[in-house]
Structure formats: C-alpha cells, structure tokens
A and B are shown apart, each in its own frame.
Chain A
Amino acid sequence: MIRGPIPQAPAQPPKAQVEITIDGTAARIPEGSTILDACKSLGVETPTLCFLQSLTPVNACRVCVVELEGSRVLVPACARRVEPGMVIHTDSERVRHSRKMVLEFLASSVDLSTAPDAQRFCERYGADPARYAESDGSAATVEQPVKIDNQLYVRDYSKCILCYKCVEACGVDAQNTFAIAVAGRGFEAHISTEYDVPLPDSACVYCGNCIGVCPTGALMFSSEHELRARGQWNEAEQTATETICSYCGVGCTLTLHVQDNSIVKVTSPIENDVTSGHLCVKGRFGFSYVQNRPDDV
C-alpha cells in the first residue's frame, strides 16, 4: 500500500520543438505531438469521434482529417505526428468536403439521436443525411433491435458508429477482459461477443468502461435507457457530484449523476490520474445501497 504522497517521476528534459504551419500560422510544437495536439494548442477546433486521450488512436472515423501539403490524401489529425516543415490546412474545401461526407455517411446509416458531439459536427459541416434516401428510401442502415440481456446496461447497436472505443476499453487499453471485438466485415462489421452470445454468457465483468467511452449512447446504463424510453430523461435537471468510491483502497473518483434524487448513472473524470475515466463494476454499478429508501423496499 502506498503511504504519503505518490512519488513523482523525475522531470523529463524539455522536448525538442517542431516548426509547422497550420492555416497560415507558424507554430512551434513539441516533438511527438499529433496534429490534433497542435490544432488544440492553436485553438483550432477539430471534430473527433473515434479519438479519446485515454485510448490508443485507431483513426477509423476519419472525421478529423486535414490537408497536408505534399500528401496525396488527407491525413488523420488524431494519429499523425507532427514533422518539421509540415504545412497543414484544416478548413480547405477538400477538408470540409470529406468531413461533411463522413458525417453524412454516419448520420444516414446510424441513429445519432443520443450523440450530441456528432450532431454538433453535422450542423457545423452542413451534413444533409436525408439526401441518400430521398428518391426511394433505399439507403442501408445498421438499424436493429436493442440488446437487453442484463440488468445493468443495454446495447443499442443501431446507434453504433464502429469507433472501436469500447473494444479498446474492454481490451488492453483498460479492462483486459476482451469480452467484445469487431466481427464481420465491411458494412456488416459490428461489435460482438463470440457468436453474439448474451453478455451474461460472455467474459463481461460489467465494469461499464465501454459505456464510459461510447460517444453515441449505443451503450447506456439501463437506468438512463428506461428514463429515456419513458420520456423522463432530463439532463438539464441533473446534478453531478464527485465523490470517492468507498469499496476499496484504490480510491477511484466517482461522478454521480442524479436526477429526481436518484442516481441515474456513474462516470469518472477522464482527466483523473487514478481512473483515466475507467472504473470497476462496484464503483460503476454498485450504488443502490446509498439510495435505499424506505419507499424502495
């Protein structure tokens, strides 16, 4: 057990700086940074869907692409590292076109109703998903029944953009449980347990880390899913309270989301040093004991 302050690693020598140009502005960026990091430091807003700071970049969604002079194709800002002399355009016609198309492709095939980021990006880039089905409604979608096979969370893959985040969180990036993976190929590729067995038959330990990283609400607490189904989900009315998980000595930070005096979901801040946003089943779902009220019995 660690007592006293956690020892700090010795200070790193300052990183070499790389000179690049973004949208006409020259900048010095620490070596090893990604183009996305560079954009952030310059205040250039870049849409991302499959990127998360706590996970290995898979650069699959392609909504973050930027134009790099000298490159035949656009490059993903989230994964491409800066190199000296790079000249980057983040708002050229090519960039805006590809971002708009990626968003239209997603919005025309996936239910983005609980994906606020994606909706915001669609608006910003003027995505018009309706045009794919205009003439005869022939546009293929990933629509399918919601999977409800346990009491803790639901999987609604009609809302899945296949960003791989849940797979990474369940695997080496956090949980090391490997209950889910991508199966199938092409448009039929999907997140699945082996042979699509229900979660209770799979390796799942209900840590909920996949829920924590899912950007679209495809993975959702049952409590949230039920409230939404009844039309009672009301984020504006919710409070978020930080506390420390009382189950064990790790001391994970919990954020309790409360609506009408009931905990409706539990998250952990992604910046938190201890959790990086990840929890275990106890912290994530073991909250009923704090709200055992007489009228619940």
Chain B
Amino acid sequence: MDLHYTADVATDDERAAVDGLLGPARNGVSGAAARRQRHLLLPVLHALADRIGWISAGALNYVSRRLDVAPAEAYGVATFYALFSTTPRPPRVLHVCDDIACIDAGAQALCSALASTFGPAGESGPDAAATWLRTPCLGLCDRAPAALLATAGAQHAMVQLAPVDAEDLARAMTGTSNGAGAVPRIGGSELRLLRRVGKVDPESIDAYRAHDGYSALREAFELGPGRIIAEITASKLLGRGGAAFPTGRKMDAVARAPERPHYLICNADESEPGTFKDRILMEYDPYAIVEAMTIAAYAVGCERGFIYIRGEYPLAAHRIGHAVAQARRHGFLGNDIMSRGFRFDIEVRRGAGAYICGEETALFNSIEGKRGEPRSKPPFPVQAGLFGKPTQINNVETLANIPLILLEGGAAYARIGTPDSTGTRLFCLSGAIAHPGLYEVPHGTTLGALIEMAGGVRGQERLQAILLGGAAGAFVPPGALTMPLTFEDARAAGATLGSGVVMLFSERVDLPAILRRIAQFFRDESCGQCVPCRVGTVRQEEALHRLASDGTSAGRKGDVLLLDEIGRAMRDASICGLGQTAANVIDSARKNLDLFTSEAQQ
C-alpha cells in the first residue's frame, strides 16, 4: 500500500527491538508479504514495550513500515491495550491491583500509602525511575493483595508479587524485588485436573511422562479423530470458559467444516475478576495443556494452534513456552508427532491488558493484529473464526479435561458429577475464606461443602454474600450454601458458575463499594464499539456513585429504577457478552441480597 508516515524516526534501540522479532530490515519483506505478517503486530508492540517501556511515534512508524500497516491503524491497536503506553513513561511500572478480592485484603490502604510516598497513580514524570498504576484483578486473588512489577530494558522482566504489604511495594518502586513463586494452595475432594499440581516438576517433560503424560495422546492416535470426538461428546463435557457450550458439538462442527485450514486456540486470557484456575494449571501442569491441545488439533484437523495467555501472567507464559519447546524437541509437536505422521505446532501469544480479548471473536482480532473488538455472530467461530477460517476455541480447563476423557472413556467420565453437569470443576476461592486457593470437586458438591473444604469463613467474620462466577456472575446470599454446584442449579438460583469464582464477602465489607468497583471494571474494559455498552457502563457507574452520595430520596429511587433500565438495554442490545452481562452482578445484588430495596420503595 502507498502509506504515508510522519517524520518521526525510530531510535537504534527501538529498531533493534522490532528487528529482534521480525528479523533485520534488509532481509525483510514488503508489500503483500509484509501485510501477511500483520498478525505479528501485537508481538512487536510487546517487544517495544519490553525493551523501551513505551511506544513512540518513531517506533510505531518503523513497525508500520515493516508490516505495511497504516500508522493510524497501528496507533488504534497500540492504544487499545492497557499494558501499552504511547506516551513516555519510566522503565519500571508497578501495577497494583485494586479490584474486589484485593479491596477485601486492604488494597485501598496500600494505594494510599503509595500515593503519599510516590505521588498519585501514573503521575510521576517520564524521568522518574518508576511509576505505579492501579489495575483490575491480576488473577492472584488466592494471595491477595497483589501487584505486578514490569521492568523494561535489555534485561526486561515481569514479576508477580503476592501477597504484598506496603514495604514490598515501596521496595518494588525503588529497587529490585524478587517475586516468590509460592506453590499455590490446592484442595478438594477429588484431584483429577490438579493431580500433578505441586507434585510434578512443571519444567520437566520426563517427570510429566512419568506421571501419565502423553498416554492420552497415544490413546488418541489409536482412536482416530471420529472416535475422539464421539468420546468427548459422550462425556457431556461443557465449556469451562463461561458459556457452557458442549465441547463435543463444537469439535464435530469444526472437524466437518469443509473450508481449510482449521485453527485451534486455547483461550488462556483469564481476566474475569476472581479467576486464577487457568493460571495455576498453566504454571504447574503446562504439558497437560500442550498435550490436550495436540489431541484436540488431531481430532478437528489443525496444523496450527495458538495459546493466547493474558499479558499479566509471566510465569504461565514462561512455563507454557518452555513446555512447547520441550515437546517440540521430543517429537510431541512438529512435523511427525510420535512418528504417527501428524503435523501440529503451537504459537504462544501474550495479551496486553484487555479483558475483552478473552471473548472469542475479540481474541481472533487480537491475534490478527487488529483492535480486540468482538465481531458480530453469526458467523460463528466454527464457521469463520481466526483468519476467517473454521476455528476450535476452548478454555484452558475445558482442554485439560480432554486427556482424562480419553483415558477413562466418555461414559465413565459422564458418571462423575450430575447427569447434566459432568466431571469435576475447579473453583477459585478467595475473599473472606480461611484458606483461599484452587479447589477441585465433582459437580453437584454443595456450595457449603466447598467452603468447608477451604476452612469456612475467615476468622470470626460473618458471611454477607458470595460472588459466584466473577464480575459477569452473580451474588448469592449466605442462605445459598445448600445449593449444589451445577450449571442447572446455578441457573435456577439466578446465578452462574461462570469461570468458577467463589468469592466470599463478610459483613465487614461495604457491598455497594464492591458494586462500584465492578461497574468501574466494565466501564474500563468495554471495547467501546457499541453504544449500549460504551455509554451504558458509564451511566451505570454514575448511578451507583449517586446512590452512594446523599441525594434526595426521589433522586435515589430514580437512580435505582434507572439502573434497571440501563441493565435491560445493555443485556438486550449489546454486541457481546461483556455488555450483556455488565449489569448482572448489580441486578443479582438487588434481587438476591435486597440491596437498594428500601431506596426503590421510597
């Protein structure tokens, strides 16, 4: 294309960062061949952020030339992601979680302390050595309060810090600090998905093989694609990414799609506040995910797969990257897997701070180097997904179930749990719970029993409410402890299991403040494409703030009714699940916890 560029030029360091990924410019491609590399835009922006700390106009011009992308479009992509900055900023950035589990763990006091020592969030000048920012849930709620330290430069690094206290944060701002890779607390009544977590060295492919590893792939080659899909269908496995879609049905549709190639994607963008299950699977059993992807790819006929890992998960990205490389070296990925003539490989992609990129069609756009805006459906991913081709996309936990299904058979798997909610389920327990962590139980276990496994409510506190399923989920009252944890019982209770979040709030917590933080989350994370969500999430947050200030009772009543009206329009008219569920938690607090009832009746 005949593109136009401003006069800004890249520095040597910026060029080096870009060339490090794309190869030297003089060997580089141009024109249509360059445009075919558009999918490298996000990795290149990461390379710049890692090396330089921010993305300058000169650097973006250079990237745009190398990929033959219009600079205005590349700017639109760079400004979409919260982890990138297009204005100068210090090389060290401390992201401090001020989301709901961390609020319970004292995040506000930590932020105030940081502000008084280092100035308000994001306001240190570019010449400072470090700056700090507030961030939504970092997926470390089991160790709240949490922070993430990103250091740019030739020796760039990203370190998860949790739990942190004020001193840890001050140290992170002023010098180096080592994140302790604490082994997570896991528990439950039946460890299947978690059987290797904390027990088997996640970096060793031999250790993995000594513990069942790759026996399911061997079985898969014996079964062949058709019977693999039949077993998965018989298992009645439902997707664990939130939408509960039958996995077998999806695989069948992709396998049958005449158009080629087919793509496989593992959705590891896990950004639903309160969720950390996929992170722990990737950090502590990465080969299982690689093996599961290989089986799924064989079943639906893919040669190329992607795993899209949220940008705030450095350890998971490292472990998965390492596992992919080892699998390749040992013939478990590549041109002739296990000498069975099957060709498949996996590319690791990092997100860059955008909850919406977990929505499957937004994720396709993100991989393709476009803004992470959801597409309208139909067409569905199984028809036209990544690069417009039939695509199998599944959540990490969904995929992790597949080797188990092949090893014991779909029918045996289906006997675990309840008839409509088969298998075990990972639950992320956090908040006012004695032992926060990741728990695995068969579907049908009651909420109360699950909470007991985690030691019950913390200390002497009294339970006020439980958040099920995350920010897009719902509040249930303490009386819901008898509810069996199944898809159908959750639905009947006006809730959802969503991504497995079980976050407890004691009476110590100001619930309307939690609602305001959730409303802020949706406002911040809306992609901005459609009006009901782009403006509706703002109006919803504003109404909640007005309810918190002392207005007239008529005004308060009006705002409660307005919340209902906004919620209905967002649910009905938004393009994607983000806008459609952005009012759910507020709605559930009103219906299930009687919040704002007195206001509404004035």
B75–A98 CB distance below 8 A: no
Q: A59-B376, A60-B531, A138-B546 are in contact. Are A185 and B572 (CB under 8 A)?
A: no
Closest-CB distance, A185 to chain B (whole angstroms):
5
Selected from B3, B535, B549, B559, the residue in CB contact (under 8 A) with A106 is: B535
List 15 interface pairs A-B (beta carbons < 8 Å), by A numbering. Answer: A62-B575, A63-B531, A65-B572, A94-B572, A98-B568, A98-B572, A102-B532, A109-B538, A135-B551, A180-B72, A182-B76, A185-B82, A187-B535, A189-B527, A203-B71
Is A73 within 8 A of B573, CB to CB?
Answer: yes
Chain A interface size, under 10 / 10 to 19 / 20 to 34 / 35 or more: 35 or more
Interface residues of B in 63-83 (CB under 8 A from A): 70-76, 79-80, 82
**B524–A194 CB distance below 8 A:** no
CB B375 to nearest CB in A, in angstroms, measures 10
- List chain A residues, Cβ under 8 A from B566: 101
Chain B residue with the shortest CB-CB distance to A133:
B542
Q: Find residues 75-95 in chain A having any chain B CB closer than 8 Å to their own CB.
A: 76, 79, 94
Chain A, 178-208, contact with B by CB distance < 8 Å: what is the 0/1 string? 1111111111110011110100011100000
A19 to chain B, nearest CB (A): 19
Contact in complex: A181, B376 (CB < 8 Å): no
CB-CB contacts below 8 Å: A119-175 with B: 131-132, 134-136, 138-140, 161-162, 171
CB distance from B567 to the nearest CB of A (A): 10
Q: Please tell me if B154 contacts chain A, counting CB pairs below 8 Å.
A: no
Are A192's CB and B75's CB within 8 A? Answer: yes
Q: Given the complex, which residues of B lie within 8 Å of A177, measured CB to CB?
A: 4
**Contact present for A185 and B546 (CB under 8 Å):** no
User: Which residues of A sit under 8 angstroms from B562, Cβ to Cβ?
Assistant: 131-132
Does residue B558 face the partner (Cβ distance < 8 Å to A)?
Answer: yes
Q: Please tell me which one of the listed residues B74, B552, B558, B565 contacts residue A194 in the complex, with CB atoms under 8 A apart.
A: B74
B76 and A162 form a contact (CB under 8 A) = no
Cα A239 to Cα B96 in complex, Å, equals: 61
What 9 pairs across the A-B complex have the smallest Cβ distances?
Answer: A189-B528, A178-B70, A101-B569, A203-B4, A105-B535, A181-B76, A194-B71, A98-B573, A194-B75
Q: Across the interface, which residues of B come within 8 angstroms of A76, CB to CB?
A: 376
Interface string of B390-427 (1 = CB under 8 A from A): 00000000000000000000000000000000000000
Residues in B43-91 with C-beta less than 8 Å from chain A: 57, 60-61, 70-76, 79-80, 82, 86
**A-B contact sample (15 more), CB < 8 A, given A178-B73, A181-B72:** A60-B529, A61-B530, A65-B572, A79-B376, A105-B535, A135-B559, A178-B1, A180-B72, A183-B80, A187-B534, A189-B527, A192-B75, A194-B61, A202-B6, A203-B72
Any chain A CB within 8 A of the CB of B371? yes
Most buried by B among A63, A106, A195: A195
Q: A97-B565, A185-B354, A194-B60 are in contact. Are A65 and B573 (CB under 8 A)?
A: yes
Residue on B with the closest CB to A193?
A: B72
Judged by a CB distance under 8 angstroms, whether A74 is at the interface is yes
List CB contacts (< 8 Å) of B500-559 with chain A.
523-532, 534-539, 542, 545-546, 549, 551-552, 555, 558-559
Residues of B within 8 A of A109 (CB): 535, 538
User: Complex formed: what's the CA distance from A62 to B546 in Å?
Assistant: 27
Contact A178:B571 (CB < 8 A) given known A186-B528, A195-B75:
no
CA distance A61 to B538 in the complex (A): 16
A234 at interface, CB cutoff 8 A: no
Q: Are B531 and A102 in contact (CB under 8 A)?
A: yes
B72's nearest neighbour on chain A, judged by CB, is: A181
Distance in angstroms from A246 CB to nearest chain B CB is: 26
Q: Is B574 an interface residue (CB 8 A)?
A: yes
**A201 CA / B57 CA spacing, docked (Å):** 13
Q: Which residues on A sit within 8 Å (CB–CB) of B275?
A: none
> Does A262 touch B at the CB level, under 8 Å?
no
Q: Are A176 and B569 in contact (CB under 8 A)?
A: no
Q: Is B580 an interface residue (CB 8 A)?
A: yes
B538 — which chain A residues lie within 8 A by C-beta?
Answer: 109, 140, 187
A58 partner residues in chain B, CB cutoff 8 A: 529
| CB of B369 to closest CB in A, whole Å | 13
Q: Are A74 and B572 in contact (CB under 8 A)?
A: yes
Chain B residues with CB under 8 A of A94: 568, 572
Cβ–Cβ < 8 Å partners of A60 in chain B: 529-531, 575
Given contacts A176-B1, A186-B526, A195-B75, A135 and B555 within 8 Å (CB-CB):
yes
Give Cα A180–Cα B4 distance, bound, in whole angstroms: 12
Interface size class of B (residues with CB under 8 A): 35 or more
Contact B57 A194 (CB under 8 A): yes
Task: Check A197–B555 contact: CB distance below 8 A.
Answer: no
Q: Given the complex of chains A and B, what is the CA–CA distance between A290 and B455 in angstroms?
A: 85
Dominant secondary structure of chain A at its interface with chain B: loop
Contact of B76 among A61, A161, A187, A192 (CB under 8 A): A192
Taking the closest CB of chain B, its distance from the CB of A115, in whole angstroms, is 14
Report which of B73, B535, B571 forms a contact with A181, defined as CB distance below 8 A: B73
| Closest residue of B by beta carbon distance from A81 | B378
A76 to B: closest C-beta gap in Å = 7
A132 engages B542 (CB within 8 Å): yes
Q: A131 CA to B546 CA in the complex, in Å?
A: 13
For B558, what are the chain A residues with a Cβ–Cβ distance below 8 Å? Answer: 131, 134-135
B71: A residues at CB distance < 8 A: 194, 203
Give complex CA distance A43, B68 in Å: 46
Q: How far, in whole Å, are A108 and B575 apart by their CA atoms in the complex?
A: 21
Q: How far is the CA of A131 from the CA of B371 in the complex (A)?
A: 33
Chain B nearest Cβ from A150, distance in angstroms: 15
Q: Among the listed A97, A136, A182, which residue makes an inter-chain contact with B569, where contact means beta carbons less than 8 Å apart? A: A97
Could you tell me if B79 and A184 are in contact, using CB atoms closer than 8 angstroms?
yes
In the complex, chain B residues whose CB is within 8 Å of the CB of A186: 523-528, 534, 537
Contact in complex: A185, B527 (CB < 8 Å): yes
Which B residues are CB-close (under 8 A) to A131? Answer: 558, 562
Q: Is B6 a contact of A132 with CB atoms below 8 Å?
A: no
Instruction: State whether A202 and B534 are in contact (beta carbons under 8 Å apart), knowing that A65-B573, A185-B526 are contacts in the complex.
Output: no
CA distance in complex: A177, B72 (Å):
10
Query: A98 near B569 (CB under 8 angstroms)?
Result: yes
Shortest CB distance B200–A (Å): 40
Distance from B463 Cβ to chain A, minimum over Cβ atoms (Å) = 32
Binary flags per residue of A100-113, CB closer than 8 Å to B gives 1, else 0? 01100110110000
Known A61-B531, A106-B535; contact A201-B569, beta-carbon cutoff 8 A: no
Nearest neighbor of A139 in chain B, beta-carbon distance: B542
Contacts of B545 in A (CB 8 A): 138
Q: Which residues of A contact B573 (CB under 8 A)?
A: 62, 65, 73-74, 98, 101-102
A71 to chain B, nearest CB (A): 10
CB distance from B580 to the nearest CB of A (A): 6
Interface readout for B174-209 with A: 1 if CB under 8 Å, 0 if not?
000000000000000000000000000000000000
Alpha-carbon separation in the docked complex, A140 to B572 (Å): 23
Contact A140:B542 (CB < 8 A) given known A178-B73, A189-B534, A193-B72: yes
| Residues of the B chain whose Cβ atoms lie less than 8 Å from the Cβ of A138 | 542, 545-546
Residues of B within 8 A of A194 (CB): 6, 57, 60-61, 71-72, 74-75
Which residue on A lies nearest to B74, using beta carbons? A194
Kindly report which residue of chain B lies nearest to residue A73, judged by CB atoms: B572
* Least Cβ–Cβ distance between A49 and chain B, in angstroms: 9
Kindly list chain B residues whose C-beta atoms are within 8 Å of the C-beta of A135.
Answer: 546, 551-552, 555, 558-559
List residues of chain A with CB within 8 A of the CB of B371. Answer: 182
Q: How far is the CA of A171 from the CA of B70 in the complex (A)?
A: 10
Contact for A162 among B75, B528, B542, CB less than 8 A = B528
Q: Mark A264-282, 1 if CB is under 8 A from B, else 0.
A: 0000000000000000000
A85 to B: closest C-beta gap in Å:
15
Do the beta carbons of A183 and B76 come within 8 Å of each other? yes
Give chain B interface residues in 1-34, CB to chain A under 8 Å: 1, 3-4, 6
Report the nearest A residue to B554, measured CB to CB. Answer: A135
| Chain A proximity of B112: nearest CB distance (Å) | 24
Chain B residues lying within 8 Å of A192, measured Cβ to Cβ, are: 72, 75-76
B-chain residues with CB within 8 Å of residue A171 when the two chains form the complex: 70
